[in-house]
Amino acid sequence: MRIHDLILPQDRVFFTLFSRMADTISEAATVLNEITHELPSGTQKAHRVRQIEHNGDEITRQVYEKLDESLITPLEPDEIARLAPVLDDVLDRIDRVTNQICTYGLAESSETLKEFSYLVMLSATEIRDAVSSMAKLDRPGEVRSHAGEINRLYNLGIELQSRAILELFRTKDLLLIIKLKDIYESFGRVMEKCNDVGHALNDIAMSHS
């Protein structure tokens, strides 16, 4: 039985909350991208990402609160309980890498940092679009398509991380190597968490096809 065969109007709160969370992720990713293009002055925007992350925590809290209160849900309770934390993980990781970039005192940006942040921003857009398609209840194919694109971007991120670290070790500035390697690995974890969201969304779409 499909989602739309079971849903009641009041149950749409979960889709509303997930959409808000996806929008929040997209907003944080956009600010991160701005920061990587505006270093070193862009570090002044770090507080915005931290506030966005706090907003995401509140949305996640509301999801669990509603889950405890609801007798009927548009998705299986375990699906909601799986999706909520992986969305929150993406936001946490964006906040973490932003903090690293802004506290490590990088004198300037680089094409690698810009490319990483662009991949994160693209992944956030795919997450937002996938959640929007899921909320329409009758488009599991669209959800799976977005999940596939998230996975493709994740693979690009892994390739970029490997290439960037190899390139990094050709430099002679040991302190810069340590800082950038840490940042690159954190970007890799952001992409990994985005991919976890893609897997969760794909599984939900398959179970409701």
Domains of the chain, earliest start first:
3-207 (1.20.58.220)
Judge whether 87 and 20 are in contact, CB under 8 Å: no
pLDDT for residue 2: 46
The DSSP output letter for 208 is T
Nearest to 31 by CA among 56, 59, 51: 51
pLDDT for residue 137: 64
pLDDT for residue 5: 46
pLDDT for residue 135: 84
The DSSP output letter for 41 is G
Instruction: Name, in order, each residue with C-beta under 8 angstroms of 32's C-beta and a sequence gap of 6 or more.
Output: 49, 94, 97, 98, 117, 120, 121
Q: At what angle do helices 111-135 and 140-168 cross, to 10 degrees?
A: 170
Question: 71 by DSSP, 3-state: which?
Answer: coil
Average pLDDT, 10 consecutive residues per value, the chain (209 residues):
46 90 98 95 91 97 91 84 97 97 91 97 98 83 96 98 93 92 97 98 89
pLDDT for residue 107: 86
